[in-house]
Chain A
Amino acid sequence: MSFALDVLSVVAISAGAFFFLAGTVGLLRFPDTFTRLHALTKADNLGLGLVVLGLLPQVDGALGALKLIVVWLLILSSGATVAQLIARRARLIARSR
């Protein structure tokens, strides 16, 4: 059982790291603000979610697991909000040109 959980952790965290890598590549390679934001927020949210999922079997106690999930939810909501604000600003600047 614990071996299966360890395998789950390794797989999930590796997948999360892959999404972080993909998001970073997108941030560096995509042509404009909106596509870069798309790469960053989608990949980071999913990447962090997978890392948290992988860490969940490794924490002892429900409180630690709850804290990890709260961290993920907080970053999801702040990432979504900041992406909206940056995109809004970018659209205003694009229109004024």
Chain B
Amino acid sequence: MIVAGAFDLALAVTVLAVATWCVSVRATFAAVVAFVAFGLLVAVVWVRLAAVDVALTEVAIQGGIVGVLLLGATASLRRYKAAVAERSGATQRLAVAVFCAVVFLALATAVLTLPDPAPTLAPPVAASLLAFGLGNPVTGVLLGYRAIDTLLETVVLLLALIGVWSISPDRSWGGRPLPMHSAGRADALVYFARLLPPVGIVIGVYIVWVGADAPGGKFQGGTILAAMWMLVMMAGLRNPPSVARSGLRLLLVAGPAFFFIVGLAGLAISGGFLAYPAPYAKPIILLIELVLTPSVAVTLGLLVAGPPVRDARQ
């Protein structure tokens, strides 16, 4: 008990220290490294809170994808040193500090004045989750009760990709993103990119599949699949695809579109948007997860690949 308490205390202090370092360090690269380390530590916090699903997402998204995105942004910023050197004024920094302090105080007050026991819907939800036939209550809530949130999350990913694509210059629209590998050969990386994907794909699909009964799901598994694709692109074994390919675009839209159609069908059959007919709830939820997975994986991979900036034939 004391050991666990000491561990939690040390963890909390480390998280705060890394967060402070991340905000205060001057070099962009060091800040990104701190941010990734912060994500990994927060994942350990989620494990300590017995929220393994959240921990997996935290590691995959913040530690993995966002880390890679920020590293890519850091590399591009080096080309525009002048813009980076420009610092925000004292007034602006003061305003940000005041805003953060107000948010912190509001959150702290809210947490400290929570009634004990906290009002909760957990027992009735847990009682009726059995209707979905899923062993993992998180998946049940995400795709049963809060399906509209999950649907919108997948749409937000797609919107983010459209945002990235929209900054491509007019003449390269429909072309390819820049190659992700550097000019020099890195034999170790090429070897790794041939060795790992078969294993990684099995693990990614496995994590999607166990999502119904254990921590896992389409975002976590989809991120692993996306990472395998990125590894192959970074080693230079494959080029990022041309964004004009219709098969690729179909794959991007298929997941959210299928989710949306299921929702509309629920309106017609069960009398509510995203309402599943009770006996088929589990197969429908599994089907949604399976169709969404490739969409999530391809969207994340293309987000990292960046906007199309060169001709498709190159």
Interface residues of A (CB under 8 A from B): 70, 74, 77-78, 80-81, 84-85, 88, 92
B residues within 8 A CB of A88?
186, 188
Mark contacts of B179-198 with chain A using CB atoms, 8 A cut-off: 1 yes-contact digit, 0 otherwise: 00000101011011001100
| CB closest chain-B residue, reference A73 | B199
Inter-subunit contact A74/B186 (CB<8 Å): no
Residue contact B186 to A77, C-beta cutoff 8 Å = no
CA–CA, A53 to B191, complex, Å? Answer: 27
| Distance in angstroms between the alpha carbons of A94 and B231 in the assembled complex | 26
Contact in complex: A77, B196 (CB < 8 Å):
yes
Report Cα–Cα, A84/B191, bound state, in Å. Answer: 11
> What are 16 residue pairs bridging A and B, where the CB atoms are less than 8 Å apart in the complex?
A70-B199, A74-B196, A74-B199, A77-B192, A77-B196, A78-B192, A78-B196, A80-B188, A81-B188, A81-B191, A84-B188, A84-B189, A85-B186, A85-B189, A88-B188, A92-B184
Q: Which B positions have Cβ atoms within 8 angstroms of A?
A: 184, 186, 188-189, 191-192, 195-196, 199
Q: How far is the CA of A92 from the CA of B185 in the complex (A)?
A: 12
**Complex-state Cα separation, A57 to B106, whole angstroms:** 48
Whole-angstrom CA separation of A45 from B189 in the bound complex: 19
Query: Could you say which residues of chain A place their CB within 8 Å of the CB of B199?
Result: 70, 74
CA distance A68 to B192 in the complex (A): 20
Q: Could you count the A-B residue pairs with CB atoms below 8 Å apart for me: how many are there? A: 22
CB neighbours of A77 from chain B (8 A): 192, 195-196
What residues of chain B lie closer than 8 Å to A92, measured between beta carbons?
A: 184
Residues of B contacting A84 with CB < 8 Å? 186, 188-189
The 5 closest A-B pairs by CB, nearest first: A84-B188, A81-B192, A81-B188, A85-B189, A85-B186
Given contacts A84-B186, A84-B188, 11 further A-B contacts (CB under 8 A): A70-B199, A74-B196, A74-B199, A77-B192, A77-B195, A81-B188, A81-B189, A81-B192, A85-B186, A85-B188, A88-B188
A80, B196: Cα distance in complex, Å:
13
How long is the Cα–Cα vector from A72 to B195 in the complex, in angstroms? 15
In the assembled complex, the CB of B5 is this many whole angstroms from the nearest CB of chain A, namely 19
Q: Report A58 CB to chain B, min CB distance, Å.
A: 17
Q: Which residues of A contact B188 (CB under 8 A)?
A: 80-81, 84-85, 88
Residues of chain A with a CB closer than 8 A to B186's CB: 84-85, 88
CB-CB < 8 A to B196: which residues of A?
74, 77-78
Shortest CB–CB separation between residue B224 and chain A, in angstroms?
11
CB distance from A45 to the nearest CB of B (A): 15
Q: Measured between alpha carbons, how far is A88 from B192 in the docked complex, in Å?
A: 15
Give the docked Cα–Cα distance between A81 and B189 (Å): 6
Closest to B185 in A: A88
* Identity of the chain A residue whose Cβ is nearest the Cβ of B187 in the assembled complex: A84
A74 nearest CB neighbor, chain B only: B199
Report chain B residues within 8 Å CB of A78: 192, 196
A81 contacts across to B, CB distance below 8 A: 188-189, 191-192
A92 to B191, CA, bound (A): 20
CB distance from B186 to the nearest CB of A (A): 6
Shortest Cβ distance from residue A70 to the other chain B in the assembled complex, whole angstroms: 8
How distant is A47 from chain B, measured CB to nearest CB, in Å?
17
The chain A residue sitting closest to B196, CB to CB, is A77
Contact residues in A for B191 (Cβ distance below 8 Å) = 81
A74 vs B196: C-alpha distance when bound (angstroms): 8
Contacts of A80 in B (CB 8 A): 188
